[in-house]
Copies of this chain bind each other. A is one copy, B any other.
Amino acid sequence: MENLLDGIEEVLLMGPGPSCVSDEVYAALSKKTLGHLDPYFVKIMDAIKGQLQALLQTENRLTIPLSGTGSAGMEALFVNLVEPGDNVLILKNGVFGMRMAEVATRLGAVVDVLEFEWGTPVDVDAVKKQLEVKEYGMLAVVHAETSTGVLNPVADIGKLVAASPCLYLVDAVTSLGGIEIAQDTWHIDALYSGTQKCLSCPPGLAPVSLSPAAVEKLMKRQTKVPNWYLDLSLIVNYWEGESRAYHHTAPINMLYGLYQALRLILDEGPEMVYQRHRECHEELVVGLGDLGLEMLVDKPYRLPMLNAVKVPQGVDEAGLRRRLLNDYKIEIGAGLGPLAGKIWRIGLMGHTARPDNVERFLRALRETL
């Protein structure tokens, strides 16, 4: 019988993730599997913690990748840091803010949502006012809103909660590895990300980092975490300490891939990587403008790695994506929720963010439009 894997053709992944993967990371994925308690594997685990700390600019000890995709990171931080009845404020200007509200609500939190127009950033003044009105146990925001291409002012929001006991949670799924994150300086207590965006590793792991204040909240819970698989108070015993107590079998080969992906970023230098993202983004925006296409987001708030472009009137949104994929082996993303059919989402994430990819895409788009 036909082996479907033989028919896989390489696609230039310019959607909202997964992004292109480098040959070094592919090679890492197929290194020989070690046991999850093998001392040599533990060395690799320790190295990954250090790499993540470096990239996040944090000294948080509890900085580890969880065994699930980015969405598992979201689930994990809420289920560990929220108890039923806790007051949580969610800043929402896209699908992923909406998802945070859904996750927190399911866990029994009392959730208030401050909503901002999709395609615009969170307004810091509005947040400030809300924090004066009510006391919250947690404030949560998405750094890079993948559904709209908007950069939220994570550092400025952090200043508002820096001196308060309110925990500050940030979704860094799309931002990590593409723009700077300074977790400690920005007063972020809890952060999660995913591997398949600017880290350019296939999907399957969720890096998280918790500040000492977040760890304290976790340790002082009244009730056990109602999710055994993602219980950080147990998982930490595997990732830290002498005993390395077995919790669940870590995804060994995925962790090889993450180690290699982080290595590539740190070797190139994070600043150089961020600059490469910016330059590719600028080249893309100019090219799109030349084709008469309009960006959804105003210039100061645009993400370099996720570009939301308005679909011109009369153009078949899905048809264009299909032609790009079939005829040019290029994937771009559709709009989500209220933006479905109205925008395309063009990703320039990690290994994808290279000038020749931008040029190849613009050529294909010109021929297709």
Residues of chain B lying within 8 A (CB to CB) of residue A225? 106
Nearest chain B CB to A167's CB is how many angstroms away? 19
Residues of chain B lying within 8 A (CB to CB) of residue A228? 71, 74-75, 99, 102-103, 106
Q: How far is the CA of A26 from the CA of B254 in the complex (A)?
A: 12
A67 at interface by CB-CB < 8 Å: yes
Residues of chain B lying within 8 A (CB to CB) of residue A38? 11, 325, 331
Contact: B15 with A33, CB < 8 Å? no
Copies of this chain, count: 2
Q: How far is the CA of A31 from the CA of B10 in the complex (A)?
A: 9
Contact: A202 with B248, CB < 8 Å? no
Contact: B249 with A194, CB < 8 Å? yes
Contact: A226 with B229, CB < 8 Å? no
Q: How far is the CA of A225 from the CA of B227 in the complex (A)?
A: 12
Stretch at the interface among A39-47, A118-126, A291-299, A358-366: A39-47
A17 at interface by CB-CB < 8 Å: yes
A4 at interface by CB-CB < 8 Å: yes
Considering the complex, give the chain B residue whose CB is closest to the CB of A47.
B4
A272 at interface by CB-CB < 8 Å: no
Q: Which residues of chain A from 7 to 34 have any CB-CB distance to chain B below 8 Å in the complex?
A: 7-11, 13, 15, 17-18, 20-21, 26-34
Q: Which residues of chain A from 256 to 310 have any CB-CB distance to chain B below 8 Å in the complex?
A: 256-257, 259-260, 263
Q: How far is the CA of A34 from the CA of B15 in the complex (A)?
A: 11
Considering the complex, give the chain B residue whose CB is closest to the CB of A6.
B31
Nearest chain B CB to A208's CB is how many angstroms away? 13
Q: How far is the CA of A9 from the CA of B69 in the complex (A)?
A: 28
Contact: A226 with B32, CB < 8 Å? no
Considering the complex, give the chain B residue whose CB is closest to the CB of A107.
B226
Q: Which residues of chain A from 158 to 178 have any CB-CB distance to chain B below 8 Å in the complex?
A: none
Contact: A248 with B69, CB < 8 Å? yes
Considering the complex, give the chain B residue whose CB is closest to the CB of A75.
B229
Sorting the interface of chain A by its residue count into under 10, 10 to 19, 20 to 34 or 35 or more gives 35 or more
Residues of chain B lying within 8 A (CB to CB) of residue A7? 40
Contact: A72 with B229, CB < 8 Å? yes
- The residue from B36, B69, B102 contacting A67, defined by CB atoms under 8 A apart: B69
A203 at interface by CB-CB < 8 Å: yes
Q: How far is the CA of A9 from the CA of B74 in the complex (A)?
A: 35
Q: How far is the CA of A257 from the CA of B8 in the complex (A)?
A: 13
A113 at interface by CB-CB < 8 Å: no
Known: A228-B71, A336-B246. A10 touches B35 (CB 8 A): no
Q: How far is the CA of A192 from the CA of B18 in the complex (A)?
A: 27
Q: Can you report 9 A-B residue pairs in the complex whose CB atoms are below 8 A from each other?
A: A4-B44, A4-B47, A18-B35, A18-B36, A21-B32, A29-B29, A72-B229, A72-B248, A106-B227
List residues of A whose CB falls within 8 A of some B CB. 3-5, 7-11, 13, 15, 17-18, 20-21, 26-36, 38, 40, 43-44, 47, 67-72, 74-75, 79, 99, 102-103, 106-108, 194, 196, 202-204, 224-230, 246-254, 256-257, 259-260, 263, 325, 331, 336
Besides A3-B260, A72-B248, 19 other A-B contacts (C-beta < 8 A):
A5-B256, A8-B32, A11-B34, A13-B35, A15-B35, A21-B32, A38-B331, A67-B204, A68-B68, A69-B249, A71-B228, A71-B247, A99-B228, A202-B252, A202-B253, A202-B254, A227-B227, A251-B254, A254-B254
- The 8 A-B pairs of least Cβ separation, nearest first, read A204-B251, A71-B248, A75-B229, A26-B30, A202-B253, A203-B249, A10-B32, A30-B30
